[in-house]
Amino acid sequence: MELGEIRNLFEEWKKRVETSKDLEEMRQTFLGKKGYISQLFREMKNIPPERRREYGREINLLREEIENFIRQRGEEIKERELEKRLKAERFDLSLPGDTVLPLGSKHPLSGVIEEIVEIFKQMGFAVETGPEIEREEYNFDMLNIPKEHPARDMQDTFYVNREGYLLRTHTSPVQVRTMLGRKPPIQIIAPGRVYRRDDDPTHSPMFFQVEGLVVNRDVNFANMMFVLREFLRRFFETDVPVRFRPSYFPFTEPSAEVDIGCVICGGEGCRVCKGTGWLEVLGAGMVHPNVLSACGIDPEEYQGFAFGLGVDRFAMLKYGVDNIKLFYENDVRFLKQFKSL
Ligand code: PHE
């Protein structure tokens, strides 16, 4: 082919190139190893020697023209194609994502603590807290449990590496902290973690209690019975049978343990209530005068009642869970059954 024909072909191609694919094809056709330009150069030997110089110059000019065109058009096409892609890929951030992350659920113990707290709040109780690493004095001494007193063995204690401190074995030290901190009338509950060296299907070395304390003039045992009965009725959402059994705690006198009719068997007797038909759910009593005195409250002027309950126990009974460990293993198959809490 002649240079003129190839120039015409080039002009034709120029009008048709639309995509980077077209452009690449054009490059091959004109500038490739077997392309038109190479062919023209190969024609050189048939050109009379005196015209060769001029011929060569013309081919080179055409080649440059083609190269420039391809470069320029290439940039245009690249820009256009990028724009097109960006438009097609535009993200609408307001659209909902297509991977919906599964929602977790409230831990059953958290749910039960919230329920208990809510019931007592409705009965006029305020919420208090205290530290889990507690002074031995507050956990024992000021609760009328002197050193070397056998009552200390009622609770197997974790001691920490610092003289006079321990992991609190119950929430009762919050009673002491509250009474030291302010004057009656006092009407508080104190939910929180407690620790004991205990480990079996119904005991975990760390568990939850809710403490209650009411101190005022003319507070009596009947007031306490009313408050606890009312709480149990609201928590179990039925008129559960409740009985108060005489018991002993160093920090209350008189003391009682509170039982409810077994919610598992309805009082018939089963494995959970060990055939008795009753379940112990609370420790309670009138605040011992020694405790009031130790906290700077005159027992001649004020009386109080206190109670303590195990949250885990309440959760186990409410949901029919027979192993306390399930609450602490965080197995999602267990936890996701409490989605409604
Ligand atoms: N602190 C007692 C316990 O952990 C429970 C309790 C609290 C009993 C308040 C009486 C009054 O066993």
Mean pLDDT of 137-147: 94
Looking at residue 201, its pLDDT comes to 78
Looking at residue 212, its pLDDT comes to 98
C-alpha 321/C-alpha 200 separation (Å) is 14
The torsion angles phi and psi of 77, rounded to 5 degrees, stand at -60, -45
Which of 52-56, 274-278, 318-322 has the weakest average pLDDT?
Answer: 318-322
- SS3 state at 54: helix
What angle separates helix 20-31 from helix 49-88, to the nearest 10 degrees? 170
pLDDT at 146 over 80: yes
State which ligand 1 atom lies nearest to the alpha carbon of 213: 9
C-alpha 103/C-alpha 158 separation (Å) is 37
Mean pLDDT of 74-97: 88
Sheet strand arrangement including 242-249: 126-127, 186-195, 206-216, 303-310, 278-287, 252-261, 242-249
How far, CA to CA in Å, does 122 sit from each of 171, 188, 310? 21, 12, 20
pLDDT band with cut points at 50, 70 and 90 for residue 226 = very high
Ligand 1: lining residues by beta carbon, under 6 Å:
170, 172, 211, 249, 252, 283-285, 306-308
Q: What topology is assigned to 108-338 in CATH? A: BirA Bifunctional Protein; domain 2 (3.30.930)
Looking at residue 336, its pLDDT comes to 87
pLDDT at 231 over 80: yes
C-alpha 197/C-alpha 155 separation (Å) is 8
Taking the CA atoms of the chain, what radius of gyration do you get in angstroms? 43
pLDDT band with cut points at 50, 70 and 90 for residue 30 = very high
pTM: 0.71
pLDDT band with cut points at 50, 70 and 90 for residue 265 = confident
- SS3 state at 240: coil
pLDDT band with cut points at 50, 70 and 90 for residue 272 = confident
Mean pLDDT of 252-277: 92
pLDDT at 177 over 90: yes
C-alpha 100/C-alpha 96 separation (Å) is 9
Instruction: Return the residue whose CA atom lies nearest to atom 8 of ligand 1.
Output: 283
Instruction: Return the residue whose CA atom lies nearest to atom 2 of ligand 1.
Output: 308
Which of 172, 193, 288 best tests ligand 1's pocket when mutated (most atoms within 8 Å of CB)?
172
Query: pLDDT averaged over the chain?
Result: 92
**Contact between residue 265 and residue 277 where contact means Cβ atoms under 8 Å apart:** yes
Which of 97-106, 212-221, 233-242, 254-263 has the weakest average pLDDT?
Answer: 97-106
C-alpha 43/C-alpha 40 separation (Å) is 5
Q: CA torsion 16→19→20→25, rounded to 10°?
A: -40
Give the burial string for 319-341 (b: 16+ CB within 10 Å, else e).
eebeebebbeeeeeeebeebeee
Kind of pairing between the strands at 206-216 and 186-195: antiparallel
pLDDT band with cut points at 50, 70 and 90 for residue 273 = confident
Looking at residue 315, its pLDDT comes to 94
- SS3 state at 300: coil
* Residue 40 neighbours by CB distance under 10 Å: 22
